[in-house]
Amino acid sequence: MESQSTSHQPDLDWSQVRETVKMLTATMCQVENAMREGSNAVETLTSGFMSMANNAENITLTANSLEDSEAKEAILSYSRQNSDHIQASIMAFQFYDKLYQRLQQTTQNLSDLSQLVESPQRLYNPNEWSQLQNDILSRSTTQNDKQLLEAILGGKSIEEALALAGQQNAETDEDDIELF
């Protein structure tokens, strides 16, 4: 097998494009690996919380069948508090799910960028770059992500784009979260 030119051992065949593609691929692998590890942990947590929610419901049903007493009220109070904590945890899992979807989009975007950069026919074609940008915009699932990309494509710095995103996040109503 013929050895390939690298940045550590460059020869006449060395290419900054190939190095860029390697770095994009390495970044995609890191994100994918982190998502896989996180997903396994979240599946375990989700299963545990669903079991706790069922147990809390059963505790409440059982406590309601008891005669009125301080102990019954204490059990019902603890059960309500437990249910509130479970609901808050479920909401946190929804944020994780949103993060996971955004990271999936990010790896797809990096993959598409890598393919474009790797192809000499596409690399120097402005229409290909425009199509890539449109594809990324169309895959963006949140208005915030679209605004970030539009700001960057419009020439804003990372700091300016993030400041715009922070401003938009502050204006977003948290009631958009669905409880399941």
Per-residue pLDDT of the chain in tens (180 residues, 90 and over written 9)? 556 766 666 666 677 888 888 888 888 888 888 888 888 888 888 888 889 889 989 999 999 999 999 999 999 999 999 989 988 888 888 888 888 888 999 999 999 999 999 998 999 999 999 999 999 999 988 888 889 889 999 999 999 988 888 887 777 654 454 443
Place of tokens 């204490």: 74
Check if the beta carbon of residue 50 is closer than 8 Å to that of residue 42: no
What are the structural domain ranges in the chain?
16-122
Prediction pTM value? 0.68
Check if the beta carbon of residue 146 is closer than 8 Å to that of residue 121: no
Give the C-alpha distances (Å, rounded to integers) separating 171 from 102, 123, 142, 154, 178. Answer: 20, 38, 14, 22, 18
